[in-house]
Amino acid sequence: MTENPGREADLLGRVPDGLLIGGRWRPASDGATFTVHDPSDGSVVKEIASATAADGTAALDAAAEAFPAWAATPARERAEVLRRAFDLLQERADDVALLMTVEMGKPLAESRGEVAYGGEFLRWFSEQATHVQGRYGANPEGTGRMIVSQHPVGPCFLITPWNFPLAMATRKIAPALAAGCTVVVKPASLTPLTTLFFAQLLLDAGVPAGVVNVVTTKRTGPVSEAILSDPRLRKLSFTGSTEVGQQLLAQAAPGVLRTSMELGGNAPFVVFDDADLDTAVDGAIAAKFRNIGQACTAANRFLVHRSVADEFARRVTERVTAFRTGRGTEEGVTIGPLIDDRAVSKAADLVDDAVSRGARVLTGGTRLDRPGSFYAATVLADVRPGSALLREEIFGPVLAIVPFDDEDEAVRLANDTEYGLVSYVFTENLARGQRMVERLETGMMGLNVGVVSNAAAPFGGWKHSGLGREGGAEGIHEYLQTKYTLTPDPFA
Ligand code: NAD
């Protein structure tokens, strides 16, 4: 069921269905295709090319061939191409947002938010492109001059997940291009259409042939292995699960590839008894239910001081029961489907496990009896230690509350995970907030806010949540390598 089937059909007709290699769209070399589905009802959205390993190598051929000229292109010109892409994205924002909702399921308003967020990486890195600097100076002995310069690392392989189909692509492509690198992008096979549409936008913005290549495929392992084992590849940037990231790190080792890894999370959301509860509840709704809970930054464990736990639970439950579930294109829908039935089963299993260990269901706790991959927005109170959802990423609309008694216990529980992507803390006590900044093992922190993402900030995790940073002044350096040159003292 669609709000405007004619508009969707027209848009889907304009999405390329091939591989982008060397500036041309073409079918897979063996003609294979796969289908993309709408998670709100399981219907087929579009059929697109499924690359072979040879197609992956052909895409790397194109990236390697285009690299010298792109690396030599003045930074100002690279910046202007990215800026044109930013402008074109604003013009095509409604199309990109609708496409994301159709293939991924999030409500249209959230897709529009992702277009704004994802677009900012194009603008930010167009600005950063012209600010890459070296340095020149005497060595401490005074016997020579040291020159330090920055150079693009070379052709890059960028692998993106399905949960933010646009922003995870722009967060990698924009800094790579700004630095002078060329890329092969492999989007998730569940949500490739946004990347295909965006790649055409990049061509329209003036990105030269071969600078951005896209391989969609159902044969991920062989395609990825062919690219990773090729000595011309110099860098792998991956966003996805920690498990796949670990495998890819092993595959990147023989080539001693530069790697950036944006992996899983298990974010604690800590509410102290001195928190402003209205602020904490607003933060909780954003941190938990944005993207239907399918964000690496989603709050996974709500650690709430025992004295305010019941009131916090009552208020979030009131908000959650007012959500409207449905296809993301429908007016007023706040919760869409999960990405697929596997995700629904995972949420159901985690909730059942927590309930069997003594958690109380305040709302939800069930699959929805309708077509599509829907799970009810859920609030669980009194989640017991040992429950699987305290260790694993839930990746669904399930808010799990665990009471604590003092600050030390909150810190111990918050850090009790192998992940360290983001943490949220709500307190009106400044010194306590500062102590939490110092004590939490986390790459990012929201202090009295529930969403931290910003193109100008260094996004990334500690521990098993990853390596490297995307965005911020740091982001472009993931795609640059340093050269140090010594020359004699010119006065000697
Ligand atoms: P995933 O690891 O299953 O897949 C991510 C990408 O890797 C997809 O393109 C997939 O096709 C590809 N892939 C899978 N197996 C591969 C293999 N053997 N070789 C090469 N590529 C392979 O993750 P997902 O389910 O798409 O995304 C959800 C995960 O991503 C969650 O764990 C989430 O926390 C994480 N994530 C992290 C960030 C971050 O910035 N830290 C952002 C978004 C998502």
Return the CATH number at 400.
3.40.309.10
Q: What are the C-alpha distances in Å from 3 to residues 8, 9, 322?
A: 9, 12, 22
Instruction: For residue 28, give the nearest of 46, 51, 47 by alpha carbon.
Output: 51
- Is the distance from the beta carbon of residue 134 to the nearest atom of ligand 1 less than 6 Å? no
- Is the distance from the beta carbon of residue 244 to the nearest atom of ligand 1 less than 6 Å? yes
Start-to-end CA distance of the chain, whole Å, equals: 80
- Asked if residue 302 is part of any domain, the answer here is yes
pLDDT in tens, 336-365: 999 999 999 999 999 999 999 999 999 999
- Rounded CA-CA distance 267/389 in Å is 11
- Rounded CA-CA distance 95/89 in Å is 9
Backbone angles phi, psi at 361, to 5 degrees: -85, 115
- Rounded CA-CA distance 469/453 in Å is 12
Active-site residue set: 262, 296
- Asked if residue 461 is part of any domain, the answer here is no
- Asked if residue 17 is part of any domain, the answer here is yes
The pLDDT value given to residue 1:
43
- Asked if residue 240 is part of any domain, the answer here is yes
Distance 243 CA to ligand 1 centre (A): 9
Q: Report yes or no: 36 and 16 within 8 Å, Cβ to Cβ.
A: no
User: Closest Cα to atom 23, ligand 1: which residue?
Assistant: 240
Domain that holds residue 315: 267-455
The domain that holds 235 is classified in CATH as: 3.40.605.10
Same domain (yes/no): 255, 336: no
The pLDDT value given to residue 2:
52
pLDDT in tens, 396-429: 999 999 999 999 999 999 999 999 999 999 999 9
- Asked if residue 490 is part of any domain, the answer here is no
Backbone angles phi, psi at 156, to 5 degrees: -120, 150
Q: Which atom of ligand 1 is nearest to the CA of 188?
A: 9
Q: Report yes or no: 166 and 96 within 8 Å, Cβ to Cβ.
A: yes
| Contacts for 69-74: CB closer than 8 Å, 24+ residues apart | 69/208, 70/177, 70/180, 70/181, 70/182, 70/208, 70/211, 71/151, 71/152, 71/180, 71/181, 72/180, 73/180
Same domain (yes/no): 216, 285: no
**At 234, which amino acid appears?**
R
Same domain (yes/no): 314, 222: no
User: Closest Cα to atom 11, ligand 1: which residue?
Assistant: 188
CA-based torsion, 340, 343, 349, 352: positive or negative:
negative
What's the residue count for the chain?
492
Same domain (yes/no): 257, 377: no
- Strand order of the β-sheet with 360-363 is 360-363, 378-381, 398-404, 299-305, 267-271, 422-426, 444-447
Same domain (yes/no): 204, 58: yes
Same domain (yes/no): 244, 372: no
- Asked if residue 488 is part of any domain, the answer here is no
Give every residue of the chain whose pLDDT is below 70, as ranges.
1-3
User: Closest Cα to atom 39, ligand 1: which residue?
Assistant: 262
- Is the distance from the beta carbon of residue 239 to the nearest atom of ligand 1 less than 6 Å? yes
- Rounded CA-CA distance 320/73 in Å is 51
Same domain (yes/no): 296, 259: no
Instruction: For residue 187, give the nearest of 34, 12, 340 by alpha carbon.
Output: 34
DSSP 289: H
Q: What is the enclosing helix (H) or strand (E) of 455? A: none
- Is the distance from the beta carbon of residue 393 to the nearest atom of ligand 1 less than 6 Å? yes
Distance 187 CA to ligand 1 centre (A): 10
- Is the distance from the beta carbon of residue 475 to the nearest atom of ligand 1 less than 6 Å? no
- Asked if residue 299 is part of any domain, the answer here is yes
The pLDDT value given to residue 358:
98
* Best mutation site among 189, 220, 344, 442 for ligand 1 pocket (most ligand atoms within 8 Å of CB): 220
Same domain (yes/no): 102, 127: yes
Under 8 Å CB-to-CB from 281, ≥6 apart: which residues? 312, 315, 316, 319
Same domain (yes/no): 358, 232: no
Extract the tokens encoding 67: 């690299």
Same domain (yes/no): 235, 379: no
- Is the distance from the beta carbon of residue 150 to the nearest atom of ligand 1 less than 6 Å? no
Instruction: For residue 289, give the nearest of 333, 256, 251, 255 by alpha carbon.
Output: 333
Same domain (yes/no): 386, 398: yes
Same domain (yes/no): 312, 358: yes
How many independent structural domains does the chain possess?
A: 2
- Rounded CA-CA distance 475/471 in Å is 4
User: Closest Cα to atom 43, ligand 1: which residue?
Assistant: 296
* Best mutation site among 48, 263, 391, 465 for ligand 1 pocket (most ligand atoms within 8 Å of CB): 263
Q: Report yes or no: 465 and 420 within 8 Å, Cβ to Cβ.
A: yes
Instruction: For residue 386, give the nearest of 356, 361, 365 by alpha carbon.
Output: 356
- Is the distance from the beta carbon of residue 188 to the nearest atom of ligand 1 less than 6 Å? yes
- Rounded CA-CA distance 443/382 in Å is 28
DSSP 283: H
- Asked if residue 19 is part of any domain, the answer here is yes
